[in-house]
């Protein structure tokens, strides 16, 4: 069996990814939905 390679970038990168995803879901997605609905 081949050894597994670890591509984890660490806790800091995980925290940045989670924070960015939360920001996008909370702030960007609603704005994008409004723009899509009003087309402006």
Between CA 5 and CA 11 the distance in angstroms is 17
- pLDDT for 1 equals 63
The DSSP code for 17 is: H
pLDDT digits (tens, 9 = 90+) for 1-40: 667 766 778 899 889 999 999 999 999 999 999 999 998 6
- pLDDT for 22 equals 98
Domain layout of the chain by residue ranges: 9-40
In the block, which residue shows the tokens 């402006």? 40
CA–CA distances in Å: residue 29 to residues 2, 7, 11, 26: 41, 29, 26, 7
Give the chain's length: 40
Q: Give me the phi and psi of 13, to 5 degrees please.
A: -65, -40
- pLDDT for 39 equals 85
């Amino acid at each position: 069996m081949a050894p597994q390679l670890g591509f984890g970038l660490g806790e800091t990168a995980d925290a940045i990814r989670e924070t960015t995803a939360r920001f996008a879901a909370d702030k960007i997605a609603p704005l994008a939905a409004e723009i899509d609905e009003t087309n402006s």
